[in-house]
Amino acid sequence: MLSVWWQRAVLSVSTLLLPAFLAPSPVAAQDRPSLAALRIDQAVRVDGELTDSAWSAAEWTGGFTQRDPSPGAPSTETTEFAVAYTPDTLFVAVRANDREPERIVAKEMERDSDLFQDDSILLMLDTFHDLRNGYVLVTNPNGARGDALVTDEGRDVNWAWDGVWRVSARRTAAGWVAEIAIPVSTLRFDPRAELWGLNVQRVIRRRNEETHWAAMPLEASAEDLNQQGKIAVYRVSLAGDLTGLRGLRPSRQFDVKPYVIGGRTDDPALGSSDDSDGGIDLKWGLTRSMVLDLTWNTDFAETEVDDQQVNLTRFSLFFPEKRDFFLENAGVFDFGPRPKVPWESALMRPFFSRRIGLDQGRTVPLELGARLTGRAGGWNVGALGARTEALHGEAGEMLVPGTTYGVTRVTRNIGDRSTVGGIFTERSREGFESERLYGLDVDFKPTQRLEFSGFWAVSDRGVPDSEQEANESRGAGFIYQGPELSLTGDYVEVQPDYEPAVGFLQRRDFRMVNPRLEWRPRIERAGLLSWWSDLSYERFERSSDGRLESQTVGVSPLGVQTLSGEFLWGGVRRTKEQLFAPFEISPGIVVQPGLYENDGFAGGFSTSGRRAVWFDNITFGGGFFDGNWLRTNSGLTFRLSRFLRVSTQWTYADVKLQAGAFSFDQFRQRIDVSFSPNIRLNLLAQYNTSDELLGVNARFHWIYRPGSDLFIVYNENWTAETISRREPLGRQLIVKLNYLLQR
C-alpha cells in the first residue's frame, strides 16, 4: 500500500515540476561581467591606503547586484574593485562604500572565524576556468582572513585549507577598504591561459544584504554545513571573467615545513614523563596542477579535541575530521550520499580519514603519509597513502597492528558541470588479509537547478567469497533547487556483508528512501523575509529481509525568517522504531524488542548572527520507544568585541521509559581571544553528566610569519560526578613550532 502511494506521489509531483526542472539556466553566460587585470612592474605596498600608482592606472569595476534580500536589485551601497599583478603576485583592491560607516559590523578577527556574520568581502577565483572548482578568500574590516577550497561547486568546501596570502583592511569616512596580495605560488593554474573565473561577494550585515559582482539568482546556492547555511558564490559556473593574465610565473612550489615538539604528560597511573620529537612536511608541485604532499613522523598535538557526544541511538556516532593533513584537499576524495540538513550526520562514507591514526579513541602513531592531488586534462586525481605504527599496551601486548592504508579517487569532467568517477581503498594490517573497496559514481547536472547522482561500491574483507556474498552498496539521488521550491530525494542500499574498512558506516544492512520538499515563498513585508515549510519522509528497512527498522514522517508547516535575520520553525513528527534485540540505552535501562510508534515534535529558533548577543536552539520531544523524551540544544554567544568571543552550548535530555528514567546535561564553554589576525587563544571546557567526564583544552596559536606557527596546548581531564567532586585522569602540556621554507 505504501509503495503504491509513494509511486503515485512521485508521479504527481514530477508532472507538476517537470517544466521547472527543465527550465534554462537563469543567467546566460554572455551576461557574465568581465574585468581586465593590469600588469605592473613594481609590487603594490599592501597597507590598506590604496595610494599606489597601480590603482590609478588599473581598471575599476562595480555594479553589484543583490541576491538577498531583494534578488536582482542593485546593491544599496556601492562596491568597486580592481586587479593588478606582477609575475609573482596577484593584487586586489576593494572599496566598500557605506553611507553609514558607524554601523558597519566587524566583530571577528580570528583566522577562519565566522566572517559571514560580519560585513565582509569574498573573492572566488576559478584559476583553471573549469567552471567547477575554485579558491575562496574572505576578509572583513578588521583584516581577518578566511580561505577555502571549493570542489564541484560546493559538493565539498574545505575551510581547513590555509593559503599563504596577505590583507590589510581599514575603515574610512566613506566605508571601508581592503588591499589583498596573493602570491602566485599559493595558487594552481595553467600559465598558458589568460582567462580565470572571478566573482566578488559583499555582505552588508546590518541589512543581511548579500551582493555579487557576477549576479547570482536566488536558487544558486550550495549547502555549506561548516558555515551553517547556503553560500551562492560557490556556484563557480556563474562567475565572471578575469582577463589579461599574461606572464605569470608558476611555481613548482617546493615547500618544506619541519617541526619540533616538546611537552610533559602527567598520568595518575603511569606517573610523569617528558617527551620531545620532530618531523617534517613537504609540499612539491610536480606539475602546474599536480601537488604531492609528504609527511614523516606526523604529530597532531595542536588539533582541537573532539566535541563530547551522548548516543541515544543504537547506531554509530560520527566525529568529524579535524587534523590538517587529512583535511587539506579532502573534497577530492568525497564519494557517496551527503547530509541534506545541518543537524544530520553522515550516513556512510567509503573513505573516512579518521580510520587512519585513530582506533577506538586511542591515538596510533602515524609514521609517514603521502597525498597526490590535482588535475590532468579533464581528469581530477586524488591518491593517499599512509603507514601507522603498531600500538602496544602497558604489558607489551599488541593493541593495534602496524597498518598500511591506500586510497585512490579519480573523476572525469563531462560537459559543463557533470562528472563520472571511481574510488579504490585498501587497508593492510600485519597478520591479516588486505581489505579493499571499489566504487563508481556519477554526478549529472543538466541545468543550474537540477542535479542527479548515483553510486555503487563493493567491499572485499579478505575472507572467502562464501562469507561475503552480499557486500555491495548502491544509491541514487536528485536535487532540484528553485527560487522558492526545493525538492530532494535519496535512495541508499547497504547489504549485510558490506564493510568499508577505511570508511564510516552509521548503520548496517539497510535500504533507505528519503524524499524532502521545502518551500520558501518570499514575503518581504511586515519585517518578514520569507515563509518556510518542509515535508520529509525517511524510511529504513533491512536489505536482507525487508523488515522495517526506522521510519520518520516530518511536517514543518510553520517557519519564518525575518529581514533582520531571525529564524523560527516548528513541526510534528511521526516515528516508527523496530528493535530486533534488546537495546541498553543507558546503564541498567534496557528497551525490549518490538515495534514502537510515536508522535513527537521538533522546533528551533535563532537570532541573527550579526548581533552582539546571538542565541540559537533546536528541540525534539514527544514519544520515544515505550515512553517519552525531551532533548534540547541551546547556544548563547557573546561577540563582545573583535578581540573577544564567549559562547556556551548546553544540551539537556530527559528520557522516561518503562524500564526506567534518566537525564543528562552536556556543557561546552568556549572563550576565543584574538589579539590580532595572527595571534589567538582558544579555551574550551566540556562537561558531560552522562559519562561524568570533565575536560579542558587551551590552545595558543601564533602565526609568526605566513605559513609558520607556534602552538602551545594544554589538556586536562577528570572523572567528575559533579564539577566540584572530580578525580584527575591526566594532563598534558605541549609546545610545537614549525617553520615554512618555500622555494
**Distance separating alpha carbons of residues 373 and 221, to the nearest angstrom:** 26
Does the 32-243 domain belong in CATH 1.10.150.20?
A: no
302, HSE (Cβ side, Cα atoms, 13 Å): 19
Sequence-distant (6+) residues with CB within 8 A of 359 are: 391, 399, 400
| 181 strand-pairing partners | 91, 166
**What are the sequence ranges of the domains in the chain?**
32-243
| Residues of the chain with confidence (pLDDT) below 70 | 1-30, 221-230, 251-252, 340-344, 465-468
Q: What is the pLDDT of residue 671?
A: 95
**Distance separating alpha carbons of residues 13 and 482, to the nearest angstrom:** 14
Q: What is the pLDDT of residue 229?
A: 52
Cβ atoms of 703 and 722 within 8 Å: the answer is no
Q: What is the pLDDT of residue 654?
A: 95
Cβ atoms of 235 and 220 within 8 Å: the answer is yes
Q: What is the pLDDT of residue 465?
A: 66
Query: Does residue 464 have a cis peptide bond before it, meaning omega lies within 30 degrees of 0?
Result: no
Q: What is the pLDDT of residue 616?
A: 93
**Distance separating alpha carbons of residues 308 and 313, to the nearest angstrom:** 15
| The residue to which cell 608541485 is assigned | 285
Q: What is the pLDDT of residue 9?
A: 38
3-state class of 31 per DSSP?
Answer: helix
DSSP state of 327: H
3-state class of 690 per DSSP?
Answer: coil
Q: What cell numbers appear for 68 in the block? A: 538577498
3-state class of 210 per DSSP?
Answer: strand
**Distance separating alpha carbons of residues 729 and 267, to the nearest angstrom:** 7
pLDDT tens string 378-416: 888 999 999 998 888 777 788 889 999 999 999 999 988
| The residue to which cell 610569519 is assigned | 705
Q: What cell numbers appear for 281 in the block? A: 612536511
**Distance separating alpha carbons of residues 728 and 717, to the nearest angstrom:** 6
* Type and span of the H or E element at 211: strand 209-212
Sequence-distant (6+) residues with CB within 8 A of 63 are: 33, 74, 213
pLDDT tens string 177-233: 999 999 998 888 888 889 999 999 999 999 999 999 999 988 876 554 444 456 788
Smallest CA-to-CA distance from 538 within 484, 488, 599, 605 is with 488
Tell me how far CA of residue 699 lies from CA of 94, 490, 711, in angstroms.
33, 40, 7
* Cα angle: 214, vertex 220, 223; to 5 degrees: 125
**Distance separating alpha carbons of residues 637 and 466, to the nearest angstrom:** 56
CA-atom Rg of the chain in angstroms = 26
**Distance separating alpha carbons of residues 227 and 159, to the nearest angstrom:** 9
Buried b (16+ CB within 10 A) or exposed e, 156-189: bbbbbbbbbbbbbbebbeebbbbbbbbbbbbbbb
